[in-house]
Amino acid sequence: MGTVAYLRVSKTNQDLDAQRLSIVNYSKFKKITINKWIEVKISATKKEQDRMIGELYKLNKGDIILIAEISRLARSINQLTTIVKDLTDKGITIVFIKEQLELSNSKMNITNKIVLYTFGILAEVAKDLHSMRVKEGLQKNTSRKKKKRVFNKLMGKGLEIQGYLELGLSKRKIAKRLNVTINTLDTYLKYFYENELNNN
């Protein structure tokens, strides 16, 4: 019988120290000797082979896997339940330290299944929310850069625009001529009247 510690982070620039400390403290408290450390730096969305899940399947009946928290093993409920079932069916015990959850073939009762499913759902939701925030951040950043580029196109054209207005051209026609939106034109004119016009 052996004990394996499984640690994973999503990016190569992240460290495993927090997970390692959690596992070491648990093993000391339980007086467990860790025979092997599996450390992976790759997203949970990658293939099981890349996440070295296959190394866990090589374990034997009676072996123990220590994992700092559920999200380190899998980020989707389907992945999580499949891996846990496969491993516990082989007689392997899995310990999720943060959740204080110990699972084995003899302990896969309805209560532990509900707890596992609940924490698995939370991990999946957290992943989805993180992805959403990243995408929103990228979209906002792209939008800001685009607005800045368009706004910069008008810099130095304040007097030209003012001349168009004095000739009676509508803002719509001016915006079309300068290839910008009316909102961008209005924003620039406000800036022009408050800043540049006084300096000309």
Nearest to 70 by CA among 120, 24, 25: 120
List the domain boundaries for the chain: 3-108, 131-199
Nearest to 26 by CA among 66, 57, 76, 85: 66
Token pair, residue 105, equals 């073939």
> Please, are residues 74 and 120 in contact by the beta-carbon 8 Å criterion?
yes
pLDDT at 177: 85
Per DSSP, 93 falls in state: E
Spell out the CATH class of 3-108.
alpha beta
Side by side, the strands of the sheet bearing 36-41 are 36-41, 3-9, 64-67, 93-96, 101-103
Give the SS3 label for residue 46. Answer: coil
pLDDT at 89: 92
pLDDT at 132: 66
pLDDT at 163: 81
pLDDT at 190: 80
pLDDT in tens, the chain (200 residues): 799 999 998 887 888 999 999 999 999 999 999 999 999 887 756 665 657 788 899 999 999 999 999 888 887 888 888 899 999 999 999 999 998 989 988 877 777 778 787 777 776 766 655 556 656 665 665 556 555 655 677 777 778 888 888 888 888 888 888 888 888 888 877 877 777 555 54
pLDDT at 149: 59
> Please, are residues 5 and 74 in contact by the beta-carbon 8 Å criterion?
no
CA distance 43 to 57: 19
Per DSSP, 181 falls in state: -
pLDDT at 114: 80
Cα 10 to Cα 2, 13, 39, 99, distances in angstroms: 27, 9, 11, 20
Cα 193 to Cα 154, 157, 198, distances in angstroms: 13, 12, 7
pLDDT at 54: 87
Nearest to 18 by CA among 61, 58, 68: 68
